[in-house]
Structure 1
Amino acid sequence: MLERLESLATKYPIDIVAHLVILIPVLVGVARFSYLKRDMKLVMLFLIGDFSTETMSLLSMLRGGTTVHMLDIRASLNIALVTSIYGAALIRPRQQKIMVGVGILFFLFSVIAYSGRVVAPWSQTAFRVFAIGATLAYYNAILADLNLKKIHHHSMFWFTMGLLFYVGGTLFSMLFNQYLHDEATPAAISDQFTVLSQSLYIAFCLLATLGFWVSKYDLKNYFERNYFTDNVFKDN
């Protein structure tokens, strides 16, 4: 097994790097845990979920198994977590209800699209389309409220930027997922898309790390505290 791990690390070094980089925001989140709002605590859960599924996929590969089912399970899990994150981050009840309602529809779609035998491009695409919509809706909400003193001191700003950067950059490649995972596809082509996807994911993790780092400013970063903003902090 160790020989196979060494072979994978030599052939796909960026995959191993992207796997380990997930631990950076998680560790910073643990260090800043006392400052975290509910939404950022859920972001930690999102990243831990990613690390766990990546670890299980790696173990499956080392044993000569397939990781196809893990990709689709991860997509459905991520839809559920992104729904929870932005459901907690949005401060107005109507916005929360819309986010949760749309998230449930996308989650059900991803479950229906699940195959278990081949990579389901629609499940992967559903996560990215939903995440793009959720991130843009969140940016629109905080810009409309005009209640943040410094946008760069807002923890969710950085996580949202990273998530939008990642899902937006990999959306197109997900439409060709089956082609990229086909044994007939030249390795050079699939490797290029893998490098792009993993590079974007590393950037996402680093931006999420920045979000955890500035979380200590969240509590005093509002011009006005009211019922809606206090609802975001009610776990603190």
Structure 2
Amino acid sequence: MNDAYVYELSGVAKEFAGPAEKVRVLRNVELRIARGEAVAIIGASGSGKTTLLHLLGTLDTPSQGTIRFEGTDLVSLGATQRARFRNRELGFVFQQHHLLPEFTTLENVAMPGLIAGMPRKEAYARALDALARVSLAERAGFDVTTLSGGERQRAAIARAILLGPRVLLADEPTGSLDEETGRQVGDVLLQLNRDLEMTLVVVTHNLELARKMDRQLELHSGELYAHTMCHA
């Protein structure tokens, strides 16, 4: 294990049971992601992007191959250990924000801390800090139903960073937003990557966002390739 890398994947494949035979979604994926790096994973729909992100996030396990996180073999962990790892090391942002409409913005962002048993005062203080980092502190007391789409996604990002994860995994975080709002959300993610030295892995169809990342990878027919983009 090279100390410069947070993730090292070797020979990773993923199969799912199909109606007649197994469907191989990923095949022989080799990948290293450095600490603090911002990586975009692009590819056509159905190419395996989300599957790969789920493997990085221990939401699923590979059919074969190894996935190491700073020396720890994630594949060998049991379900409880994987859950503990996710809660401690990872933050997740999805295309849909999954905020709870019956709570305020502050309460939604503080939720991971409260679930983890953190004192309410500390969870709320952390939530305010996280909201400030995504330029949403002034909306802390508002019901999330009053927020715009972009504000809701920024609140979801604040929730994802509440517990100080070392890696932020984002699946199409701008997919449901208009172009300008998507640009703002993408810039928030990249600012967090820089300010917090938080490794960022984003699955996206947004090529403008992908160009701003340190590195672009493309999945094609289940195989991962380096992708060279013209940077604007």
TM-score relative to the length of structure 2: 0.32
Greater strand fraction, Structure 1 or Structure 2: 2
TM-score relative to the length of structure 1: 0.32
Greater helix fraction, Structure 1 or Structure 2: 1
